[in-house]
Amino acid sequence: MEHEFKTETMTVQVIVEPILDFDDICIFKEGFAMAGKNYKWGFIDKTGKLTVPLMYDWGGEFNGGLACVQKGGKSGFIDAAGKIIIGMDYNYAGDFSEGLAWVKKYDRSGYIDRTGKIVIPLKYDEATPFSGGLAAVEKDKKWGYIDKSDELIIPFEYDAVYSDNSKAWAFRFFEGWVPVMKKDKWGFIDKTGKLIVPYIYNWALEVSEGLAPVQNDAGKWGFIDQTGKIIIPHEYAWAYPFSNGLAAVEKDNKYGLIDKTGKEVAKIDFENAYMFGDKLGCLQKNGKYGYLDQNGKVVVPMIYDAGCSFSEKLACVKKDDKWGILEIQYSFV
């Protein structure tokens, strides 16, 4: 098996051969990735060493040195060494974002800081991570947005349904605008609550790199800008948000990559595709996964049974039921 894959601008090295015996591994954050086997989860470092034992029912990503973990119906936070920093006092909790994490006890949600202090009381039905200084919270089946002082900035007047239609949810502010739903139609508001794109879409996803994926009445996805102008026509069965200037899209049960003009950078001829990370995208063809660059050129051949997006220049790949780790080294000329 090859140990490195080179282009003019980068080298992708196999830093851990596919020998790691896990059922699944998630993306790296702050140098650690959650790994699971037999429904128990822990964390590994970039060498594949298990730094937190497989003892949790689930976990999150590290942010500021802390990660959320869940065990026996209780949630708390650990550091990179696995030490419990914030006790397992909550029924649910989310990752830290902008210095705060949402937590839920029984049926009430609020926010804590990194010391575990409750800084926004547990008084909401649901809560979501802070982004751009605001967080979406739910009260009496309506969503609004609060700031970190718990001041209501955007009133409770929005409906939102998560993608599997099983749980009410709301999106986060990115780049100053966010999709919201009223009466089963999606539009976009700015951080003052002003409606900037009318409620005309069946579905919408979070904003990224100035564009947002939206679904029309015909069930087709395209992309709009902040003025509501259609930048990429509605012709896809599915579309991911843009990342590193490219977006994965689906058409006729095949996936490919497009740029912000709608041009196909990687022909829509793949079986699966993930969001771009660190200038490489993970795609599947003939049952195998590999990685393409921003020009659609294959950098890592389609030789793996599974793969995930690059994050922090690291990605986990699976071959013959074992996991390995790839690392990017950029070349500057």
Alpha carbon distances (Å) from 236 to 215, 272, 277:
9, 14, 22
From the list 20, 67, 5, 9, the residue with the least C-alpha distance to 320 is: 20
pLDDT at 170: 60
Which of 72, 17, 67 lies closest to 47 in space, CA to CA? Answer: 17
- What pLDDT does 235 receive? 98
User: CB-based burial of residue 206 (10 Å sphere; 0-12 exposed, 13-18 middle, 19+ buried)?
Assistant: middle
The predicted pLDDT at position 274 comes to 85
Q: How far is CA 6 from the centre of its chain?
A: 28
Distance (Å) of CA 249 to CA 192, 197, 235: 32, 23, 10
- Looking at residue 165, its pLDDT comes to 39
Question: What is the model's pTM?
Answer: 0.91
**Rounded mean pLDDT for each run of 10 residues along the chain, 333 residues in total:** 83 96 96 97 97 97 96 97 97 95 96 98 94 93 95 93 45 86 93 96 93 97 97 97 94 96 96 88 96 93 95 96 96 63
How far apart CA 74 and CA 235 sit, in angstroms, is 44
> Residue 172 has what pLDDT?
77
Q: What is the pLDDT of residue 2?
A: 64
Strand positions, DSSP E, 183-229: 185-190, 195-201, 203-204, 212-215, 221-224
